[in-house]
Structure 1
Amino acid sequence: MRSVQSLVNIVLVPALTGLSVALAVLLWLPGAMSPSHNETSTTGTYSATDTSLLPSAQGPVSYADAVDRAAPAVVNIFTRKIVRRKTHPLFDDPFFQRFFRTNPQPSERIQSSLGSGVIMSADGYILTNNHVINGADQIVVALHDGRDVNATIVGTDPEADLAVLKIDLQELPYIQVAQNRQLRIGDVVLAIGNPFGVGQTVTLGIVSATGRNQLGINTYEDYIQTDAAINPGNSGGALINAHGELVGLNTAIFSKSGGSQGIGFAIPAAVATRTLTDIATHGTTIRGWLGIEVQESTPQLLEALGLTEALTGLIVTGIYPDGPADKAKLAIGDILTHINGEEAANARHAMNQIAALRPGDDIDLEFIRAGQVATTRATAGLRESHQPQ
């Protein structure tokens, strides 16, 4: 019969040695006992490490490359305007000046303001906002590379708050316009400009909305809304995508304090570049015209017209004699339901839609008259630009 000591040597020593080895394995290789990465959970068909159902990681960790592409084409714009004081002619008479003041005040003073702009071509065409240069006697453009030069006004479009400038310099950088990338809500955008005159600044945000109108800012409104910080001085600067391409021209902010509150508006690049082409070629913006006045339908108006069924449309309230709509036999009281196949429910959108046409383009109209659906075709005319007095 074996002794207790021999039993310990035979049974316990190997057991303790095995436990020691197992503990060492767990400490040094903690993943050795974990399930395989491809092992399927026993509670279902979804793997604990399966990433196919998770959103894929997109976008760079830095937008420096996008800024490097666009920033050289964004300029600072400084304007000077001579403001003349209005005084009674008697105050200019030296005899009467003796009674009113001993040191006559100057009749003129220089008013300065600042903004931003974007170089659109190698030959020096610059897009900015009309309100940046409106009334300026001198416009100075400061480039990203340190050069500055006087600019001339090629033309303006106050109804869309756009202006085209021209500078004469060599080796000008210019921005690339986004062509084949549809802007979507949630896309990352960056605003580049000169806020408060501190120098070129870049802010980051997303596209909050597109097609914003009825803001009361301009006659033609079709804005990109973004929460990228836009402040005074950013006007006319570039709104770019993550690829460094121009998607809009920063124009306005909604603010109670005067600073950015996360609601900024930019003119879409397609609208701005079209205006640039029109002004550079024709000296003015070319817009289509239908020659009608409309009002959005309401239940009360429909009831007054004897229409009880629910429908949306634009009620024709006025027609210009010999205009495109008049020649197409449209009549006051007709309810436009579709313009070129698009539902006509918003007056601002319909105006923008027609303005985007060229004179001579066809306009297919569907409308309701006396309860019956009818169609006609008009030919777009040329809308005369209205310059503010």
Structure 2
Amino acid sequence: MNRQNILLVASASVATALAMLAAPALGQLTQQAGQAQPTPAISGPAPELVQQQDARVVPDSQASMQQSFAPVVRRTAPAVVNVYSSVTVRRSNCPYANDPIFSRMCGNAPTQSQKVDNSLGSGVIVGADGVIVTNNHVVEGGQEFRVVLNDRREFPAELVMKDERTDLAVLRIDTNGQNLPMLDFADTKNIAIGDLVLAIGNPFGVGQTVTSGIVSALARTDVGVSDYASFIQTDASINPGNSGGALVDMQGRLIGVNSIIFSKGGGSNGIGFAIPSEMVKRVVDAAVHGGTLVRPWLGAKGDVVDSAKSAALGLDRPRGVLISQIYDGGPADKAGLQEGDVVLTVDGREVFDDRGMKFIAATKAEGETATLSIIRNKQPRTISIRMSAPPGTSKAELVQITTRNPFSGAQVAELSPALADALGLDPFQAKDGMLIYSVPGRTIARNVGFQAGDIVREINGVTIRTKKDFETAVKKAEAVPSSEWRLAIERNGQRIETSLRG
């Protein structure tokens, strides 16, 4: 075979290989409009997998290989906006301005200068009347907000709600009665790994940009950037400035809000994460209908099932969540869930850790039902749980300690599962007791060594579970001048015992 023939054969082989590699990624583009989306197979109690008909096909012609994302971009790009957040920072021109003595050296001359700091992110219009969702970290600390539409119109924006725990925020602009282009929410339960997606945003402030990729993974709960994490992972390029932008499917529906990337240098390495639209929809609905976000809970806590636990439980492989704690009187307790049960799926979706269960519960509205597939004593069962909010109030009812005792000057609050959850504490570990909410400087409590977040567990041998327990124990100790205060507090999960003189 001569050199020319060798080159022709090699070229044909490379072309064939490239076509084979491109076929799975582009196959989804040949779906017919309106065709039902396949539901990903889930692992239920039975080990047998149910085969479902998949509408995804590979290209079967040269024309299908030349299809474009342009129609999807034309439908979705107008609903993605730029979000500008600004804050006015006042700085002193005198280096001694905060010193009570040397500040006199500044004289009577003006000592304040102002500087406006701006930050840029992206947002998605999810209401034709001007409702926009973005990331909380895009608007965090901002005092004024401005939205620039795809057609370059600018509007001042009002911050309706921000939720640090989901890293979401909702803005509203006044459109003077005009309807804006918006994105509908996709049903993220039907998303499959390998689905084609587009990421739309404003990276580095260069202007609206569209990148393509696939769904790389689902239900990423170990990213650790928010309390309610179950991210969609994608290799579509996401860079600084993309935060708050849209991740859309091939039908032009919003499947997630781009939030974070894993990167050592600050640029995209093909590992980006988006908040699923089911959580986005919950936050938006709460913002539009009153501004109060109630997060239901299961009232159950579980552990990851590893290989050793899987073998002991008689499972075919490590899967599910092993229930380790049940809150008395909580939703799971009322439904009959028991310690030692293994939860395989919640509403048909596999769960692998406690955070996955927590996320799905938080996407429910209070009063809705979640269906759990479980294994109990090696037998499959199904349990329906009616969701409800954690007991107690999520807002701290603060008590200022004004009498002279070791707690003097501190603010305390009675703990409950609702307050613990709102503060990011474990509702099972911090379900009762008195929380040291704040400890101002130059107070007895600060000098004693109390810190915000400490939980008072005992005073002079009396167990403290409620506000009444705390007040009774404090009054009893105060009634004896110079009495000894034997205290037990919990700090970061560790019990600390100390003895003080009154």
Structure 2 residue aligned with 1:206: 214
Gap change, CA 1:387 and 1:149, over 3 Å in 2: farther
Query: 1:315 offset after TM fit, Å?
Result: 3.0
What is residue 281 of structure 1 aligned with on the other side?
289
The Cα RMSD (Å) is: 3.8
TM-score, normalization by structure 2: 0.57
Shift of the 132–340 alpha-carbon distance from structure 1 to 2, 3 Å rule, reads closer
Q: How far is the alpha carbon of 1:278 from its aligned partner?
A: 2.6
Which of 215, 219, 229 aligns to 2:223? It is 215
- The question of 1:114 aligning with 2:150 is answered no
| Contact persistence 1:195–1:201 (CA under 8 A) | yes
1:353 aligned to 336, 345, 360, which one? Answer: 360
Matches within 5 A, 1:97-136: 97=103, 99=105, 106=112, 109-136=115-142
- Corresponding residue of 1:56: 60
For 1:62 and 1:329, the matched residues in 2 are separated by 52
- Pick the aligned partner of 1:382 from 361, 376, 389: 389
Higher RCO (Cα < 8 Å, 6 or more apart): 1
Distance 1:246 1:60 in 2: 25
Of 131-140 and 375-384, more deviation after overlay is shown by 375-384
Q: Which position in structure 2 is the counterpart of 1:248?
A: 256
Residues 70-125 of structure 1 deviation map (CA, whole Å, 9 limit, x = unaligned): 22221111111234569999735797236589987637543221101111222110
| Pairing 1:1-389 to 2, within 5 Å after superposition | 55-57=59-61, 58=64, 61-83=67-89, 91-92=97-98, 96-97=102-103, 99=105, 106=112, 109-170=115-176, 171-177=178-184, 179=186, 182-298=190-306, 307=312, 309-310=314-315, 312-337=319-344, 339=346, 344-365=351-372, 377-383=384-390, 384=418, 386=422
Does the 8 A contact of 2:221 with 2:355 survive in 1? Answer: yes
Matched residue type, 1:217: V
Q: CA deviation at 1:139?
A: 0.6
- For the structure 1 residues 308 and 64, does the alpha-carbon distance in structure 2 shift closer, same or farther, using more than 3 Å as the test? closer
**2:301 partner SS:** strand
Partner SS, residue 112 of structure 2: coil
Structure 1 residues 316, 132: closer, same or farther in 2, change over 3 A?
same
What residue identity is the alignment partner of 2:60? S
State the Cα distance separating 1:294 from its structure 2 match.
1.5
Q: Give structure 2 stretches of 5+ with no counterpart.
A: 1-56, 391-417, 425-436, 438-502
CA distance in 2, matches of 1:283, 1:268: 20
The question of whether the paired residues in 2 share the 8 Å contact of 1:358 and 1:382 is answered with: no
Residues 97 and 104 in structure 1, CA contact (< 8 A), matched pair in contact too: no
CA deviation profile, 1:138-197 (whole Å, cap 9, x unmatched): 111112222212111111232221111100024342223265895443333222211111
- When structure 1 is superposed on structure 2, of 170-179 and 85-94 the one drifting more is 85-94
| Residue 196 to residue 172, structure 1, CA distance change in 2 (3 Å) | farther
Once residues 74 and 205 of structure 2 are traced to their aligned partners in structure 1, the CA distance between those partners, rounded to angstroms, is 21
Aligned residues with identical type, % of pairs? 42
Pair 344,268 (structure 1): closer, same or farther in 2 beyond 3 Å: closer
Counterpart code for 1:271: M
Cα distance in structure 2, aligned partners of 1:95 and 1:224: 55
Q: 1:297 to 1:285 in 2, by over 3 A?
A: same
Query: Contact conserved, 2:295 with 2:389, CA < 8 A, in 1?
Result: yes
1:79 partner amino acid:
S
Q: Secondary structure at the match of 2:285?
A: helix
Higher Cα radius of gyration: 1
The verdict on how the C-alpha distance between 1:56 and 1:332 changes in structure 2, with shifts beyond 3 A counting, is same
Distance 2:123 2:84 in 1: 10
**Structure 1: 5+ residue runs without aligned partners?**
1-52
* Separation (CA, whole Å) in 2 of partners of 1:104 and 1:354: 55
> For the Cα contact (< 8 Å) 1:240–1:248, is it kept in 2?
yes
Deviations 1:203-253 (A, max 9, x none): 232332333322112122232222221111111112233444333221111
Q: CA deviation at 1:282?
A: 3.6
Cα gap change, 1:151/1:371 in structure 2, threshold over 3 Å: closer, same or farther? same
User: Structure 1 residues 365, 144: CA separation in 2 closer, same or farther (over 3 Å shift)?
Assistant: closer
Deviation at 1:376, TM superposition (A): 5.4
**Secondary structure at the counterpart of residue 266 of structure 1:** strand
Q: How many matched pairs?
A: 334
Which residue type is aligned with residue 226 of structure 2?
N
